[in-house]
Amino acid sequence: MTKQERLHRQDPKRAEPIRNMTGYLRNSHSWGETPPGEESGKDGEGAKAQETVDDVLTHGVNLGYKIIDEHILQGRRVADELRQHRLGDEKGTGSEVNALVARLLGVTKDVGALWLDSLEMAVKSPRLLTGLVGGGRHPGEAAAASPGVAGGNLSIEVASVRRTQVTLNLPPAPQAYTPQVHALHAVDPAFPPLTGVSFQAAAGSRRPALLVEIPDAQPPSTYTGVVVDKETNEPVGSLVIRVLA
């Protein structure tokens, strides 16, 4: 076969993926309807014959994203308007509180570079503590081994150069378990997850501790994670860490 005789596929209409979804979505239209700006004509039979599964799927998904993105934008606009309205109502009473908060934050920033801070903690599970101390033993054994441990007696150690707020929510559980926390993620997926968070027995003590280490370069944000039972991996609570600017 000579070079000229070779069969050639036609050049594709696009040579790379469409990354600009927003622009692409603008072109979506209902199947069987004439897209905006195109001549209508009932030589649609040919077009119909070319309808493939992929075409219809793509049409449906593109249209879906167009609709839902607009819907979310509308919701945000309404929420913003409501917030502005509320702010307007609260301006008189809120300004003094805001000024006080700003002053407090200023003082906080001046204090130093290293913070060992635990501002908010909500521990509701005395059984968690028995589970931690018991280290996988039966609940009865764990409780017997640590009769003096009271609910809420969990220490949180935070190593961070920035002000950090930790909220641990562990509701009562029917039986003892060993907690484990996976990486915590920010709402913005571009932010690296917080991985330096773990439950350990506090050094030189039988008391359990939540150790939180915030890297210096960690972007300020709210990071959330799920606390699981180490053995079953079933969720038992949640952990929220707010790294403030």
Residue 240 interacts with another protein (CB under 8 A)?
yes
Paired tokens of 206? 């039988």
Residue 165 interacts with another protein (CB under 8 A)?
no
Among 137, 162, 185, 207, binds another protein (CB under 8 A): 185
**Contacting range for another protein; rule: CB under 8 A; set: 18-26, 28-36, 154-162, 212-220:** 28-36
Residue 156 interacts with another protein (CB under 8 A)?
no
Among 118, 141, 215, 224, binds another protein (CB under 8 A): 224
Give the integer Cα–Cα distance in Å for 223 and 240.
Answer: 6
Pick from 8, 227, 21: which is nearest to 124 by CA? 227
In the complex with another protein, which residue's Cβ is closer, 48 or 103? 48
Among 157, 161, 167, 207, binds another protein (CB under 8 A): 167
Residue 134 interacts with another protein (CB under 8 A)?
no
CB 70 within 8 A of CB 26: no
Residue 109 interacts with another protein (CB under 8 A)?
no
**Contacting range for another protein; rule: CB under 8 A; set: 11-19, 30-38, 137-145, 146-154:** 30-38
Among 23, 88, 112, 189, binds another protein (CB under 8 A): 189
Give long-range contacts, CB 8 A cutoff, 24+ apart: 212-216: 212/156, 212/157, 212/158, 212/159, 212/160, 212/164, 212/166, 212/241, 213/158, 213/159, 213/160, 214/158, 214/159, 214/160, 214/161, 214/162, 214/164, 214/241, 214/243, 216/161
CB 123 within 8 A of CB 152: yes
Residue 33 interacts with another protein (CB under 8 A)?
yes
Give the integer Cα–Cα distance in Å for 206 and 200.
Answer: 10
Q: How many CB atoms lie within 10 A of CB 105?
A: 13
Give me the least distance between CB of 68 and another protein, in Å please. 5
In the complex with another protein, which residue's Cβ is closer, 117 or 229? 229
Residue 193 interacts with another protein (CB under 8 A)?
yes
Give the integer Cα–Cα distance in Å for 110 and 114.
Answer: 11
Paired tokens of 191? 């932010």
Give me the least distance between CB of 237 and another protein, in Å please. 5
Binding residues for another protein, per CB under 8 A?
29-33, 48, 51, 53, 56-61, 63-68, 71-72, 75-76, 167, 169, 171, 182-183, 185, 187, 189, 193, 222-224, 226-228, 233-240
